[in-house]
Chains A and B, each alone.
Chain A
Amino acid sequence: MAVNVQTPPDSMYRSTEGLGVWEHKGKVAAVGIGVSPTARRWDESPETSVGAWTILAIRNAMEDAGVSPEEVDGIVLTPDTSTGVSWPKDRPIPESFVETFNLTDDPLDGIVKLSIEWILKNMPELTNIKFAMHAPTCMSNAIVVGAQAVGDGMTQTCLVVRGWHNLAGRYYVGQGAAGMDTIAGPAGITSGHGVPACGTTAMMFQEYCHKYGKNHDMMANFVITEKRNGLLLPEGYWAQHRPENLTVEDYLAARWIAKPANLYDNDLPICVSAAFVFTTAERAKDMKQKPVYILNHTRTTPKHRGAVQTLDDWQEAADETGRKLYEGAGIKNTDLSFENMYDGFTEFHQFHLEGLRFAGVGRGEALDFYQTDISLEGPNPVSPSGGNAGGGRTRFWLHYDSIQQLQGRAGARQIRKKAEIGVSGAFFPDFNYSTIWSATPD
């Protein structure tokens, strides 16, 4: 019988302040993680398609958790797998892909997008799925939905899944409307000026620097720290394919994409998939891995009224996210052992960090904080995952690392202080899904 794939209702999200402590605080746990290999671009073989690698990631996650496929009764998937390059119009699907997999009605499913239907058609071992949701845009969304679903009893053992493809071509450059001499819809107002993907972030960063008397050079230590941490992530793209150290000189000499955002302030689109296994805290007690408990999750959505956000919009939203996270988890900023908020683009990060008041850092103070010891060895580890900058564009290394840190199995990336509570979330300061993770349920 076909599974009914649902869309998460608003009631599954914790979007406002004043909700109190999350009703399922400490009652949901991450117990398994799995990833695929990485590649810069798809080589068009079926074995490396986003569909194939997502199957691999799911199998790795189940093995990591020590759960059998028939024990899994739920799946939350982010169906978007795009990294900014479209499948060429009228280009046929590779015959080898058609011959290898069971297709859905959409011939691009499993290549440049992914549905739960495609996964279930190609993973016959998942015989017991009763709950299925597509959580768009970001694995951070799927994590929030998966946590709430397990807490609400909609599923006992749930897969949380995200895959990425990357085709030949430049990131958004000349793609779709960008390659035309006309432009329709709201994009006529917001995109006609030729702002690249990092442009809005660079605008906010410029305004931030102007207001607080900071400059782009002050980002160097943060970006270098992220690259270093990323090279200690064996699952990441840079560690696997381009183990290159970044120096201050490299960073400062990099070409501008949208000044004040340079090449290293942007992330590298890659092919990779990840899957996590969530279950109830009760069940997690006896499982293979040390459980990582979810203390709270939040959603923050844009409220701006203009063509682009303002600095005020982002700072107010980041503050709101911080307050909601702490309220629902029943913790304070000083309880965080580390933070793994989003970095792709790097100039997002200081807004998240200040909104959380991580290490007591307030508005306008993050770039000064970046000049202190923010390493894995130091008292205030920042982005120990290396984020998108250090591991490639996924929006999930931050969560993956948070789980590993709290299980004590982050290897060379393990922070030296005791990892007790961490936070991760993506993406924009005013549009994000964030989670508080803990080594203990309370």
Chain B
Amino acid sequence: MPKQSPIPGDIDKPFWDACNREVLVVQNCKSCDRMQHPPKEKCGGCSSSDNLEWREMSGKGTISTYIVVHDTPVTILQAEQPFNVAVVKLDEDPGITMLSHLPGTAVDAVPIGAKVQVEFETTPATGQKVPEWRVVG
């Protein structure tokens, strides 16, 4: 689907750069061993900014829920309606969630609880790659 192209900022640039290398990373606080996504300037647990690192993920997750969007506010997606948006919980930490259009899964046929694997999709405006997820197994 023709997604908007994210414009990397100071804080999330390492995440988007990793996407362009087709690697999924998540920000982690070394001090309290706590991951967070989207990346932030400080750890949401200890408020430290000195102990943040980027941790590479396996790219494996599970679908926890989904919706079927019939009335999106995003202009570039309106021609694609209706479409799925699923919530994926990462295997490494189910508290870390990401969104997915679930390429390859029919509209409103989303298997909650199914395993998914990350892949990377190129967005049209700038060529920035973004993570997407596909049902496996």
Which residues of chain A have a CB within 8 Å of any CB of chain B? 171-175, 177-186, 188-197, 199, 202-204, 206-207, 210, 255-261, 303-311
Contacts and interface: CB of A to CB of B under 8 A. Distances in A.
Contacts of B46: none
A172 B73 CA distance: 6
A210 B114 CA distance: 13
Contacts of B126: 182
Interface string B92-116: 0111111111000000100010000
What 4 pairs across the A-B complex have the smallest Cβ distances? A188-B6, A306-B97, A194-B72, A207-B65
A203 B8 CA distance: 27
B35 A259 contact: no
B37 interface: yes
A412 B78 CA distance: 43
A258 B97 CA distance: 19
Contacts of B7: 182-184, 188
A180 B66 CA distance: 25
Contacts, number: 160
Contact of B67 (A184, A206, A255, A309): A206
10 contacts: A179-B75, A188-B16, A189-B37, A194-B69, A194-B83, A195-B85, A197-B73, A256-B68, A259-B108, A305-B95
A185 B13 CA distance: 10
Interface in B50-74: 64-74
Interface of B: 3-9, 12, 15-16, 34-38, 44, 64-77, 82-83, 85, 87, 89, 93-101, 108, 112, 124-126, 130
B102 to A, nearest CB: 10
A310 B99 CA distance: 12
B6 A196 contact: no
A258 B75 contact: no
Contact of B4 (A182, A206, A305, A311): A182
Given A203-B87, A311-B64, 12 more contacts: A173-B72, A173-B73, A183-B7, A186-B38, A192-B130, A193-B77, A202-B67, A207-B65, A257-B70, A303-B44, A306-B98, A307-B97
Nearest to A309: B97
Contact of B74 (A192, A207, A311): A192
Contacts of B64: 207, 310-311
A185 B97 CA distance: 17
